[in-house]
Amino acid sequence: MSRRASINELKSAVYPVRSAEQLSLARRAVLDWATRLEFSLVDRTKFVTAASELARNTWVHGKGGEMTMSQLERDGLTGLRLVFADNGPGIENIGQALTDGFSSAGSMGKGLGGAKRLVNEFDIRSAPGRGTTVTVIQWKRR
């Protein structure tokens, strides 16, 4: 039997990410949920910054998609999970995409690697022609 407590999903909502306005609404929703759940200012800022970079990638590189936000509970800890999913071109070399300074679009190339460093859990799945899904979780410190 696994000793790791299972994750309960308490509440969930989906936000489209297909325009600059929707990107800012999604970002705002992450800030609202993190504030309501009383995450620290530092953790809130980190998570919203990561969300903003990932939502921008979904929109710009992924040609639009959606963000699903869920409130989690595991072993008495509160968390927030964001899943960014698109059906865009996908990523051929994920290691390269995560490297600071790499951009296929001539931009800063620090979004993906930066987002990974700002959150507690990070997962990316992508393949050429199959779109991209990035999942991040931030746990609220006791």
Ligand X SMILES: Nc1ncnc2c1ncn2[C@@H]1O[C@H](COP(=O)(O)OP(=O)(O)O)[C@@H](O)[C@H]1O
Pair of tokens at residue 62: 């992924």
Q: Nearest residue to Mg ion, using CB? A: 111
DSSP 43-102: HHHHHHHHHHHHHHHHHHTSSSEEEEEEEEEETTEEEEEEEEEE-SS--S-HHHHHSTT-
CB 51 within 8 A of CB 30: yes
Per CB under 5 A, 138 contacts Mg ion: no
Which of residues 62 and 79 has its CB atom nearest to ligand X in the complex?
Answer: 62
Which of residues 65 and 111 has its CB atom nearest to Mg ion in the complex?
Answer: 111
Select the span of 6-14, 25-33, 40-48, 109-117 touching ligand X (CB under 6 A).
109-117
Residue type present at position 8: N
Which of residues 78 and 103 has its CB atom nearest to ligand X in the complex?
Answer: 103
Cα 75 to Cα 10, 37, 57, 121, distances in angstroms = 13, 16, 32, 16
Per CB under 5 A, 57 contacts Mg ion: yes
User: Of 88, 67, 58, 57, which is closest to residue 25 (Cα–Cα)?
Assistant: 67
Q: Of these partners, ligand X, Mg ion, none, which one is at the site of residue 133 (CB under 5 to 8 Å by kind)?
A: none
Query: By CB under 6 A, how many residues form the interface with ligand X?
Result: 23
Task: List binders of ligand X among 65-84 (CB under 6 A).
Answer: none
- Interface with ligand X by CB under 6 A: which residues? 53, 57-58, 61-62, 86, 88-91, 97, 102-105, 107-113, 132
